């Protein structure tokens, strides 16, 4: 599907000297390119209306963008009843000009999704991993997932504009892991390690941060600017969107509420691990979903576990609500599929702890939220480079752009 533009990025204005005609021309091209990027097809008249640029100037800029490979003219059937005359010319942004990949690297899975420059997901690949796997095995699985996506669509890695990788833990602006629950992940510069294989821009970000971006982009909270995403299940964490922008904090640790044990998040998974009425063959990552499913069926022991779990979960949520006063909270993770059972228990425990309670909704993206958020961040970084540059460069210079802007920064 065609994804909409990000709401988490603020457009950069281009300062133009009134006597600098080349700068004005570049500015016009960028405005027109932005207006066309998330449309399936636009006419010259529509571009004039969207940008406020005169028709002759718009036509000239469109011609330049076509020559450099960013736009192309397409045939579109005219609507019935159109008056006789010359048909309107339609143009489209060449979304296949380049690609981005978003990856979710967790304790139990690696999921990669490949998207074009409009955010349309073209393919995805998932690989199961285990908490006890070595860092090298997890990195190898990540490479394999990326390569499978490229292979599925017969795309060379040189066509990639950016890769964003999401992973649990505190990750600084260099892509350096300060603290993570993944075995052997601490003190590794993941951006540097993955950058050895790929020439495009590599970004590393906390998984909950990416999840909140995805929910705001194509998920449950597209109309909100102040959002808290709470990952619930065998691990608990939070991602924060404030004023429409991702809030990472000074060192990337914003939302790590679980570090304060008094708030209860550090022990939430213990309720699932102590549950006795479960087969030993059930994988640990499926325990939470199993217990909530049993609770929905009225099982007394499962209901007691759900009650204790949501009580601890709500304590940490209340701390975030009282500090940030968000418009809405999104509950994501494996147990977000539990529906009203999860919502009812959370609201029951949360309401007495807060002065005012925000709206609470369930994630609509399931286990794809992190990889989709990674796509959104990769696109944001790509657009930042395109629209901050002096000129949309011809696509033949893609490799030059990739090398020039290759970095280990994970911050917006």
Q: What angle do CA 109, 110, 115 make, to 5 degrees?
A: 140
| HSE toward the beta carbon, residue 90, CA cutoff 13 A | 11
d(CA 54, CA 74): 22
- Place 277 in a pLDDT band, splitting at 50, 70 and 90: confident
Per-residue model confidence as pLDDT tens digits over 292-334: 999 999 999 999 999 999 999 999 999 999 999 999 999 998 7
Query: Among the ranges 260-274, 307-321, 379-393, which has the highest mean pLDDT value?
Result: 307-321
**Domain locations along the chain:** 21-93, 98-211+369-405, 220-364
What's the CATH number of domain 220-364, 3.30.200.100, 1.10.1380.10, 3.10.50.40, 3.30.420.40? 3.30.420.40
Q: Which of 74-78, 180-184, 275-279, 361-365 has the lowest mean pLDDT?
A: 74-78
Per-residue model confidence as pLDDT tens digits over 131-174: 999 999 999 999 999 999 999 999 999 999 999 999 999 999 99
What are the tokens at 230?
């709470």
Say if residues 52 and 27 touch (Cβ distance below 8 Å): no
Q: Where are the alpha helices (DSSP H) in 198-250?
A: 207-218
d(CA 55, CA 73): 17
Q: What is the pLDDT, as a whole number, of residue 85?
A: 61
Domain 98-211+369-405 falls under CATH 3.90.420.10: no
Q: What is the pTM of this model?
A: 0.88
CA distances from 67 to 27, 63, 70 (A): 17, 6, 8
Pick the closest to residue 4 from 130, 83, 84, 120 (CA basis): 120
d(CA 174, CA 205): 10
Q: Fold for domain 21-93?
A: Arc Repressor Mutant, subunit A (1.10.10)
Q: What is the pLDDT, as a whole number, of residue 43?
A: 95
Decide whether 98-211+369-405 matches 220-364 in CATH topology: yes
d(CA 140, CA 371): 17
pLDDT at 15 over 60: no
């Amino acid at each position: 599907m065609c994804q909409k533009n990000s709401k988490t990025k603020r457009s950069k204005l281009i300062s133009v000297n009134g006597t600098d005609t080349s700068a004005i021309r570049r500015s016009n091209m960028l405005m027109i390119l932005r207006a066309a990027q998330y449309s399936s097809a636009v006419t010259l008249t529509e571009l004039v209306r969207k940008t406020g640029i005169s028709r002759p100037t718009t036509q000239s800029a469109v011609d330049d963008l076509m020559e450099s490979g960013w736009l192309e003219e397409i045939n579109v059937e005219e609507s019935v009843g159109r008056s006789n005359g010359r048909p309107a010319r339609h143009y489209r942004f060449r979304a296949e000009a380049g690609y981005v990949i978003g990856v979710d690297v967790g304790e139990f899975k690696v999921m990669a999704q490949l998207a074009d420059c409009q955010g349309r997901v073209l393919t995805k690949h998932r690989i199961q991993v285990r908490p006890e796997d070595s860092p090298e095995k997890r990195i190898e699985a990540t490479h394999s997932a990326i390569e499978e996506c490229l292979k599925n669509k017969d795309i060379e890695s040189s066509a990639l504009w950016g890769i964003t990788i999401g992973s649990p833990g505190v990750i600084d602006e260099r892509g350096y892991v300060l603290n993570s629950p993944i075995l052997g992940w601490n003190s590794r510069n993941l951006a540097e390690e993955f950058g050895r294989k790929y020439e495009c821009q590599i970004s590393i970000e906390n998984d909950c941060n990416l999840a909140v971006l995805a929910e705001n982009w194509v998920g449950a909270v597209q109309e909100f600017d102040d959002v808290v995403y709470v990952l619930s299940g065998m691990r608990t964490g939070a991602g924060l969107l404030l004023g429409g922008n991702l809030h990472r904090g000074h060192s990337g640790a914003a939302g790590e509420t679980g570090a304060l044990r008094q708030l209860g998040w550090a022990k939430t998974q213990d309720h699932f691990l102590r549950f006795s009425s479960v087969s030993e063959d059930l994988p640990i990552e499926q325990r939470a979903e199993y217990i909530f499913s049993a609770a929905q069926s009225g099982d007394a022991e499962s209901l007691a576990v759900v009650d204790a779990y949501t009580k601890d979960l709500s304590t940490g949520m209340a701390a975030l609500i009282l500090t940030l006063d968000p418009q809405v909270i999104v509950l994501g993770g494996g147990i977000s599929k539990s529906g009203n059972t999860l919502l009812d228990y959370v609201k029951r425990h949360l309401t007495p702890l807060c002065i005012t309670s925000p709206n609470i909704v369930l994630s609509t993206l399931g286990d794809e939220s992190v990889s989709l958020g990674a796509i959104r961040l990769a696109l944001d970084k790509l657009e930042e480079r395109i629209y901050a540059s002096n000129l949309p460069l011809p696509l033949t210079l893609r490799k030059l752009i990739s090398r020039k802007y290759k970095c280990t920064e994970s911050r917006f």
